[in-house]
Amino acid sequence: MNNIDNEKLLHTAIEDYEPYTKSQRKLLAAFIELAVDDIVSISVISLSKLLGISRFAIYKNLNFLESDNAIKKLNDGKEGRLTGFQLNQDKLNNIEATYVQKQKYINNISKIDKN
């Protein structure tokens, strides 16, 4: 698979990832698009405007995604100010693998039902 196919698969996997709410999935998918070398440099205000989600919901979703190890908040050393986010590739790989496994199961069940 090439990078575009991998990215499509990851987006599909995120959209299907049931442990996350719709807004958590939307935020994580946006991070995939905005990331450069797994780093997303954007403010909560900008995220709120881009995604049409309140700042309160953005902060709540960020806290959840961080506690689930999907992202890590990055702060500057001096003031502790939030400067960006780092994606956790291991977690993204897990989300993708979960989706692939689910699709295999669905395909196997449909083959059994046809017989």
pLDDT at 47: 95
Return the CATH number at 93.
1.10.10.10
Report if pTM > 0.85: yes
Question: Which pLDDT belongs to residue 4?
Answer: 63
| Ranges under pLDDT 70 in the chain | 1-5, 113-115
State residue 81's pLDDT score.
Answer: 84
Question: Containing domain of residue 54, as a range?
Answer: 3-114
CB 85 within 8 A of CB 44: no
How many structural domains compose the chain?
Answer: 1
* 16 neighbors 102 (Cβ within 8 angstroms): yes
